[in-house]
Structure 1
Amino acid sequence: MRLNPHAMQRGSGIVLLAYISLHLVNHALGIWSLHLAERGLMLAMLMWHSVPGTILLYGSVGVHFALALRTIYNRRHWALPLSEWVRLWAGLSLPLLLIRHAVGTRLAASLYGFEPNYERVIVSLLLSGTQGLQIALLAPGWVHGCLGLWLGLRGYAPVYRAKRVLIAVFVTLPLLSAAGFFQMKRAIIAANLAGLVPDASLVQYRAALDGWRHDFLIAYLLLIATAFAAGQLRNGFDKRVSHKAAGDA
């Protein structure tokens, strides 16, 4: 049975959009209370940190990224409509932000005993001055996923009729997520009037975590650059072959 790249891209994209959506919803729960957001985070971690959830999530990441590299390599021209440029920017910029977050949470938990929850993560962000990155973290993936889903499903009448509702969700959920994050930040600062204390695991293994971030970032950029350069070389070779064939004819 031959695998359909478009079906694989859509399926893996839906999994990643579900992951991002749950993160946004969890952040939004912080509007009501830090405790409620922590409960939501625990449920999400039970799902995504389980063996099936881990395989599904990281398998989808691998498939989606491999197909993105394939698309970059196969592209014959770069005269794209604005929606495609926005989707491309959002898709390629997401890992640049996600690498830092994933190394400081999931990898730190797996290798160095860090126990991630909203309080520890937000304290770490505040002490490092990177809380803005956390707010911006999910935006590119949310834009990329929503645009991809819309471009793939807009031909279906029920989806097109729900356009205004979908736009409202597209705009409102990230705003609620940002509001929840700020509310949790205020609650944590108010509860730690004596001063914020970094997690001991993150302090002890800071150099190792920084090394992981650097290595993942370099590997990611090299893969993107290699796919683009190889595609350009292929296009140039094909043009020379075509011109030679036309001249011989």
Structure 2
Amino acid sequence: MEMQSILRHLQIGSGVVLLTYLFLHLVNHALGLWSLDLAGHGLTLAIKLWHSTPGTILLYGSAALHFSLALRTIYGRRRWVLPATEWIRIWAGLSLPLLLIRHAVATRLAASLYGFEPNYEKIVISLISSGTQGLQLALLAPGWVHGCLGLWIRFRHYDPVRRAKPALIAVLIGLPLLSAAGFLHMTRAVETASAVLPAPDPKLLAHRVALDTWRRDLLTIYLSLVIGALVAGQLRNRVERRSLHKASLDT
């Protein structure tokens, strides 16, 4: 029981770190409603925070820990009859990496390996050129929903949390909408800045094949781990049921 409590606290702690990252990212996008420059200043601060050594260890360590605990939960689950809220939370949590891997490879990995210096104008130009603006708009919402629902499920039995439910719902829905509106505003600003859209960053173009390979390999590893945990858990459940059935027959 003590180990379960420790794992639960680790799950909450790592989840809060990831939710903080998503919150700041959504706010940063929302700043684009005012101007591309203001969003750019916010991005510069975010890069200083998350690209620093402590920030990198905290963010990616939390991501690895949270994902490892999610695999453990998938493997250990005996029954999959769940309430709708839990299914939504699971869907949101598992779908986030499918979108986030693309974003992380095109920004953080490109910056670390190939010297790409991300700013909102370069990111928007790259997304428009590749036709993946929709993915960017959908990028953060699943993780935001997953994190908010996770905290709600953990703390909904507290009276202050229940009383704050309307405000929490407003933040849950409103922040992603403001973020999407800010990103669309920045996209229009880049498109109208010149008659011809500038070419994507030369470093992204020069290493596009390598970045695509990284993206494909990471997605394959992610899906293999999730499916492997699910299949292994179901096989274990089947073996346990057969053992129990055999034991009941023997008695």
SS in structure 2 at match of 1:115: coil
Deviations 1:59-95 (A, max 9, x none): 1100100001000000101111100100000000000
Does the Cα contact within 8 Å between 1:28 and 1:180 map onto a contact in 2?
A: yes
Matched, 1:197 2:188: no
What is the match of residue 158 of structure 2?
A: 156
Percent of aligned pairs with the same amino acid: 64
Does the Cα contact within 8 Å between 1:103 and 1:212 map onto a contact in 2?
A: yes
Equivalent residue runs for 1:8-27 within 5 Å: 8-27=10-29
**Structure 2: gaps spanning 5 or more residues:** none
Equivalent residue runs for 1:60-71 within 5 Å: 60-71=62-73
SS in structure 1 at match of 2:182: helix
**Structure 1: gaps spanning 5 or more residues:** none
Does the Cα contact within 8 Å between 1:17 and 1:141 map onto a contact in 2?
A: yes
The separation in 2 between residues aligned to 1:154 and 1:38, in whole angstroms, is 36
Letter in 2 for 1:67: L
What is the match of residue 114 of structure 1?
A: 116
What is the match of residue 126 of structure 1?
A: 128
Letter in 1 for 2:225: L
What is the match of residue 235 of structure 1?
A: 237
Q: C-alpha root-mean-square deviation of aligned residues, in Å?
A: 1.0
Q: After TM superposition, which residue ranges in structure 1, 4 or more long, deviate above 2 angstroms?
A: none
The separation in 2 between residues aligned to 1:82 and 1:100, in whole angstroms, is 28
Which of residues 57, 81, 94 is equivalent to 1:92? 94
What is the match of residue 41 of structure 1?
A: 43
Equivalent residue runs for 1:1-12 within 5 Å: 2=3, 4-12=6-14
Does the Cα contact within 8 Å between 2:125 and 2:197 map onto a contact in 1?
A: no
Does the Cα contact within 8 Å between 1:38 and 1:117 map onto a contact in 2?
A: yes
Q: By how many angstroms is 1:195 displaced?
A: 2.6
Letter in 1 for 2:198: L
Q: By how many angstroms is 1:157 displaced?
A: 1.1
The separation in 1 between residues aligned to 2:122 and 2:83, in whole angstroms, is 42
Q: By how many angstroms is 1:22 displaced?
A: 0.4
Q: By how many angstroms is 1:158 displaced?
A: 1.0
Letter in 2 for 1:174: P
The separation in 2 between residues aligned to 1:209 and 1:240, in whole angstroms, is 47
Does the Cα contact within 8 Å between 1:94 and 1:137 map onto a contact in 2?
A: yes
The normalised TM-score by structure 1 is 0.98
